[in-house]
Amino acid sequence: MTSVRTRPERAPAAVRRNGGRGPALLAGLGVTLVLVVLLAAGRGQVQISPAEVIGSVLHRLGLEIGPLPAAPQGENALWIVRFPRVLLAAVVGAALGCAGAVMQGVFGNPLAEPGVIGVSAGAAVGAALAIVTGVTVLGGWTVPVAAFAGGLATTYLVYLLARSGGRTEVVTLVLTGVAVNAVAGAVIGLLMFATDVAGVQAIAFWNLGSLAQANWSAVTLAAPCLLVGLAVAHADARRLDLLTLGEPAARHLGVHVERLRIRMIVVTALLGAAAVAFTGIISFVGLVIPHLVRMIAGPGHRVLLPASALGGAVVVIAADLAARTLVEHQELPLGVLTAVIGGPAFFWLLRRTRNRAGGWG
């Protein structure tokens, strides 16, 4: 008896039915991102209007169009402080949003995201070790590389511990991530105990999350990681769609599940570590944003991945704007602010999902 294998290029029906909202959502998020960037770049101790922000950019591009900042030091404020910070916020938010969407898709687990499964904590441990030991073998790349290695090692450790009988158990994955996060927190605490005051302050930066140290070098290092991660994840979007049907169905449709999962683990570690390496731990972005996007446009990853990236960028830029402007002459920790907002949002999502499913049992 001859079996017919279905071509893996055809997405599940549920994905196709929700695809109509995708272009509108992507366009709306793109416009929102531009508006938020203009607003964030102009707000601060030196006030610059959106028209002046646009004019400054156009003049830098060689186009004599639009007004330049009238405020003293306005150009320096834009190009030395504001733009690096806003662009790094966009890169970090996009990386976290995309990483969360990838994790949830590859594990079929709505609770999976870089923070829950330990990649953020592992990357922070790697960065903290580099800070405390004072290793500078790779120069400016030392801390980001240490963060990437820590995030990759932690993610793969969680994946291995969650495997049982050739498959990944959802509950085991979450519980393993909780345990690894606890161990990573203990290691960070020990490193803070063993180091000096400067080391404690540097490690505290990772725990609280901040964009205060943003610069053009950080943007140029983090942006390529985001682009590579997005490209690889988007290339596997249809395979991730098929994986939502379950492992047996995905295998029958031609998906090599283990290779896909390992590849996506590397992508998640790359994206998560690129974010954590320069800003510290920023909670809930990778968990809540893909949920919200999925509610609007459905589970299709061709829309879910870029929309989660755009949504994450918008949220982190807006949160950083609030962090540096809500209290005059002071800056709130970005990671704390996203947790304060993301925690209740995630609780609402849990309640909504439980009510629609008729309970967890």
Q: From CA 169, how far away is CA 99, in angstroms rounded?
A: 20
Per-residue pLDDT tens over the stretch 179-207: 888 898 899 889 888 888 888 887 887 77
Grouping H, G, I as helix, E, B as strand and the rest as coil, residue 163 is strand
Q: Which letter, b or e, does each residue of 77-108 get, where b requires 16 or more Cβ atoms within 10 Å of its Cβ?
A: bbeebbbbbbbbbbbbbbbbbbbbbbbbbbbb
Tokens of 245: 């049907």
Contacts of residue 260, defined as CB under 8 A and 6 or more positions apart, other chains included, come to 106, 236, 239, 240, 243
pLDDT computed for residue 11 by the predictor: 53
Q: From CA 49, how far away is CA 169, in angstroms rounded?
A: 52
Q: Go through the domains of the chain in sequence order and give each one's CATH number.
A: 73-350 (1.10.3470.10)
pLDDT computed for residue 195 by the predictor: 86
pLDDT computed for residue 167 by the predictor: 67
Cβ atoms of 196 and 207 closer than 8 Å: no
CB atoms within 10 A of CB 351: 10
pLDDT computed for residue 39 by the predictor: 95
pLDDT computed for residue 18 by the predictor: 53
Q: Is 265 left (phi over 0), alpha (psi -120 to 50) or beta?
A: alpha
pLDDT computed for residue 168 by the predictor: 65
pLDDT computed for residue 175 by the predictor: 84
Q: From CA 130, how far away is CA 140, in angstroms rounded?
A: 11
* Residue 168 backbone phi and psi in degrees, to 5: -100, 120
Rounded to a whole number, what is the distance in angstroms from the first to the last CA of the chain? 40
CB atoms within 10 A of CB 178: 13
pLDDT computed for residue 36 by the predictor: 97
What H or E segment, with its residue span, contains residue 168?
A: strand 167-168
Grouping H, G, I as helix, E, B as strand and the rest as coil, residue 280 is coil
Q: What is the C-alpha radius of gyration for the chain, rounded to an integer number of angstroms? A: 21
pLDDT computed for residue 174 by the predictor: 76
Per-residue pLDDT tens over the stretch 297-333: 888 999 999 999 999 999 999 999 999 988 887 888 8
What sign does the dihedral 272-277-227-136 (CA atoms) show?
Answer: negative
Between helices 285-297 and 22-42, what is the axis angle to 10°?
140
Give residue for tokens 């809930």.
Answer: 284
H-state helical runs in 73-210: 74-76, 83-107, 119-133, 142-162, 170-194, 197-208
pLDDT computed for residue 7 by the predictor: 47
- Encode the chain (361 residues) as per-residue pLDDT tens digits: 444 444 444 555 555 555 567 889 999 999 999 999 999 999 988 889 999 999 999 989 888 888 888 777 888 889 999 999 999 999 999 999 999 999 888 877 777 788 777 788 888 888 888 888 888 788 767 877 888 788 878 878 887 887 777 666 667 877 888 888 889 889 988 988 888 888 888 788 777 888 988 889 889 988 998 999 999 999 999 999 998 888 888 888 888 888 898 888 889 888 887 888 788 888 889 989 998 998 888 889 999 999 999 999 999 999 999 999 888 878 888 988 888 888 888 788 777 766 765 544 4
Tokens of 305: 């991945």
